[in-house]
């Protein structure tokens, strides 16, 4: 229960890594505000966790809704200890086949929204002199993955953002880090090439969202003088 009395926010909390992380944080004692646009899924989660999970329906791709996120969070609980910027989209395949609108949506959510959310919450954390920010990145941020050039580029950008912002705010007692999972068994990789997805499942080269959530708890459990800047977690069979 090392997160007892902590207020956490998880974006993209209705499924996948976000949902697993929210549940893990609740299990460690935190109260978690679930940010997602899937109201039905979040209501079901909140019902299961008796007040420890608070649903907040927000479409982060809506500029006004995104700009209003931080005021709404403070209105709910008055403070914020942990922010997990997890919401994201995936776009794979050959660049020449990519839809221009899909590229815009993915880059907006994976990069711009994260930057704006962190910018908006920093004054609150700086004033309090503490806080944890964790961004869901990807193994693709560390390797130029040929089957997902747009997605990989978004994660390379966000890793740079994490590392530079960390150096700006560590003096205020704020830790900024990222978690970089390899392929996770979730809907996010549903549009992988069919043969690649089938091969990954057959070889056991996928990890579960719960594995990523446990790694995030490890990051949060370090002493305050220790920052995990980037933690890569991948299936043991990934390199086969």
Name the superfamily (CATH) of residues 7-233. Answer: NAD(P)-binding Rossmann-like Domain (3.40.50.720)
Q: What is the pLDDT, as a whole number, of residue 194?
A: 76
For the segment 139-145, the average pLDDT, to the nearest whole number, is: 89
Give the closest residue to 136 by CA, choosing from 114, 163, 166: 114
Give the closest residue to 137 by CA, choosing from 80, 101, 176: 176
Could you tell me the residue ranges of all domains in the chain? 7-233
**Active site includes 90?**
no
Predicted confidence (pLDDT) per residue in 103-130, tens digit: 999 999 999 999 999 999 999 999 999 9
Q: What is the pLDDT, as a whole number, of residue 123?
A: 98
Residue 62 has pLDDT above 70, yes or no: yes
The Cβ of residue 129 has, within 10 Å, a number of other Cβ atoms equal to 10
Residue 191 has pLDDT above 80, yes or no: no
Please tell me whether residue 226 adopts helix, strand or coil conformation: coil
Q: What is the pLDDT, as a whole number, of residue 134?
A: 98
- The catalytic position among 151, 156, 161, 192 is 151
For the segment 156-172, the average pLDDT, to the nearest whole number, is: 97
Q: Are 58 and 65 in contact (CB under 8 A)?
A: yes
Residue 240 has pLDDT above 60, yes or no: no
For the segment 9-22, the average pLDDT, to the nearest whole number, is: 96
Nearest-Å Rg of the Cα atoms of the chain is 17
Residue 239 has pLDDT above 70, yes or no: no
For the segment 11-28, the average pLDDT, to the nearest whole number, is: 96
Pairing of strands 131-136, 230-233: unpaired
Tokens 């993209």 map to which residue? Answer: 12
Average pLDDT score, the chain: 93
């Amino acid at each position: 229960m090392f997160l007892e009395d902590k207020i956490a926010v998880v974006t993209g909390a209705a499924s996948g890594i976000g949902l697993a992380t929210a549940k893990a944080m609740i299990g460690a004692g935190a109260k978690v505000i679930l940010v997602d646009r899937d109201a039905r899924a979040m209501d079901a989660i909140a019902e299961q966790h008796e007040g420890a999970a608070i649903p907040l329906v927000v479409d982060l791709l809506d500029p006004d809704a995104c700009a209003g996120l931080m005021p709404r969070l403070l209105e709910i609980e008055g403070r914020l200890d942990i922010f997990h910027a997890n919401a994201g989209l995936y776009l794979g395949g050959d660049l020449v086949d990519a839809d221009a609108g899909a590229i815009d949506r993915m880059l907006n959510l994976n990069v711009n929204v994260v930057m704006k959310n962190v910018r908006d919450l920093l004054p609150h954390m700086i004033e309090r002199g503490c806080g944890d920010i964790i961004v869901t990145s990807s193994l693709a941020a560390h390797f130029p993955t040929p089957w997902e050039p747009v997605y990989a580029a978004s994660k390379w950008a966000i890793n740079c953002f994490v590392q530079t912002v960390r150096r700006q705010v560590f003096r205020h007692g704020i830790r900024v880090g990222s978690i970089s999972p390899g392929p996770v068994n979730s809907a996010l990789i549903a549009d992988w090439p069919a043969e690649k997805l089938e091969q990954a499942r057959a070889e056991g080269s996928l990890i579960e969202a719960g594995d990523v959530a446990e790694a995030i708890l490890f990051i949060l459990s370090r002493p305050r003088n220790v920052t995990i800047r980037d933690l890569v977690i991948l299936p043991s069979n990934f390199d086969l």
